[in-house]
Homo-oligomer: A and B are copies of this chain.
Amino acid sequence: MTDPFVVIGGDAAGLSAASKCRRESPAREVVVFEQGSWVSYAHCGTPYFIKGDVEHLKDLQSLSPSDIEERGIDLRRNHRVTAIDTESNVITVVNDGESIEYPYGELLIATGARAVSAPIKGADLDTVFTLHGLPDATALRSFLTPPAEFDSTNLGGGTALDVSIAKQYGAMQPPETVAIVGGGYVGVEMAEAFSAWGCAVHLFQRPERLLPAFGTAVGDAVASTLNSAGVTLHLDEEVDQLSETDGQLDSIVYGDGDTLNVDAVLIGIGIRPNVELLTETSVELGATGAVATDEYGQTNVENVYAAGDVAELEHMVTGETTWSPLGLPANRAGRAIGATVGGSPTQVGRVAETAMLKAFELGCGRTGMLDHDRAEEVGFDPITKTITAGSRSGYYPGAEETTVTLTADRKSGQLLGGSLVGADRAAVRINTLATALGAELSVDELERQDLGYAPPFSPVWDPVLVAAKVLNGEL
């Protein structure tokens, strides 16, 4: 009898792998250990649950525990893996104070990532939050709901709800002034959520622009929209510490000692892969700090795989390894590893770091490499152009400006990356650029694509084609 396929982590990568392995190899024993009580939930949906656009925590689950068990997966929630022995193919698991050893045939590390708050002093105060997972989302939504309206059963968390967290924050007066530290995905999305609850929102960002990964045009457009929505931006501003009075947060200290009284702080300065479990093993990390893997998601140790936010992947443009903790690559890599373990070797795929983001009424998208320093490091001679064009025929109601940025290699003309921002279906247009990148098109080839035109949906020259035409003119 073969030892089971053991998966550590019950979210996107882990459960995709477990499900696919069972489909490929229905007799195979598949066990998933998840340290928390939630499984298969959508991280990216938490800002919309906090905002109230999504009513229930359970709405964010794509599979319930019983769905998972129906797939023939042995799911163990509240089981924390504490050690991996890659010599004897055994892991140590702790549940309810009991420690057991569990053998594996193949092992998948899908332990994800966590939000970081260091080195900001005061980050452990009660009303200072990070956002990474449903317990954080529970606390924030409960805190924002006025106590008179609060009822923990309305959160729709079922038996997985952490009732004590919900009740602690649900009993508190909602914050009036909120500071967000960090102007990346979480910071921008949460600015919208806090604003929707009527909070005065201050967003602090150390770089001079929001969303650096999206390039300057998107950062500027989002800043302008946040400003118009009443969010006070503190760009190019370092946060020093969060100060307290009698153990309660009272202000944020920034810049040259300026202070702002705040009732809550959300720290969204980044995430780090959960690799601590591997420090005592021979599983190697890559230069990014995430687990190094080959094209099948296998680590340097045979029969040990890694996928999702804990693992590196190959970048589509550079061919180098990158750490791109996003939803689709996690699902795809998990699914591929499940197929491989189930007997059908499947590559985990490459990433273009394609991402979309909503910022109030704006949709944003980015793909590939926009950063010139990074492009130069891998030998490209980058050139970037930004254009603005209409989202529809100019005469058709609802047309909005769409700003497209394209970066290419001056020597070969190869498209390296792009971004889009606008209020009328700009975000989905990023898929045109992502596909062009994946197909290794040159800017000249992109310009010659036969894209669609109809007055309600797109002008004759799609904004992407306009951008390609302008950039091509410079090459």
Contact = CB atoms under 8 A, between A and B. Distances in A.
A45 B439 contact: no
Interface residues of A, number: 67
B450 A349 contact: yes
Quickly give the copy total for this chain.
2
Q: Interface of chain A, helix or strand or loop or mixed?
A: mixed
Given A45-B395, A439-B445, A450-B349, A328 B460 contact: yes
Nearest to A420: B452
A331 B465 CA distance: 12
Contact of A450 (B48, B367, B462, B464): B367
Interface stretch (A90-98, A174-182, A239-247, A424-432): A424-432
A286 to B, nearest CB: 19
B435 A436 contact: yes
Interface stretch (A252-260, A277-285, A357-365, A403-411): A357-365
A302 B449 CA distance: 28
Interface in A135-175: none
A453 B59 contact: no
A42 B429 CA distance: 23
Interface string A57-82: 00110100000000000000000000
A352 interface: yes
A379 interface: no
Contacts of A394: 59, 62
A332 B394 CA distance: 19
A393 interface: yes
B328 A454 contact: no
Given A48-B396, A431-B429, A439-B439, A329 B450 contact: yes
B54 A457 contact: no
Nearest to A366: B452
A121 interface: no
A378 interface: no
A12 interface: yes
Contact of A464 (B396, B431, B441): B431
A461 B431 CA distance: 12
A351 interface: yes
Given A445-B438, A456-B358, A395 B427 contact: no
B451 A434 contact: yes
Among the interface residues A393, A455, A457, which one has the most CB atoms of the partner chain B within 10 A?
Answer: A455
A414 interface: no
Interface string A14-38: 0000000000000000000000000
B395 A448 contact: no
A44 interface: yes
A462 B316 CA distance: 19
Interface in A222-281: none
A473 to B, nearest CB: 11
Contact of A428 (B396, B445, B458): B458
Contact of A451 (B44, B328, B358, B439): B328
A397 B460 CA distance: 30
Among the interface residues A397, A430, A451, which one has the most CB atoms of the partner chain B within 10 A?
Answer: A451
A293 interface: no
A327 interface: yes
A113 interface: no
A111 interface: no
A454 B365 CA distance: 9
Nearest to A331: B460
A445 B436 CA distance: 12
A115 interface: no
A200 interface: no
A462 B48 CA distance: 19
A457 B358 contact: yes
Interface of A: 12, 42, 44-45, 48, 53-54, 59-60, 62, 316, 326-329, 331-332, 349-358, 363, 365, 367, 393-397, 425, 427-432, 434-439, 441, 445-446, 448-458, 460-462, 464-465
Given A60-B395, A349-B448, A349-B450, 13 more contacts: A42-B460, A54-B396, A62-B394, A327-B460, A350-B448, A356-B457, A358-B457, A427-B452, A431-B451, A431-B464, A432-B435, A438-B449, A439-B441
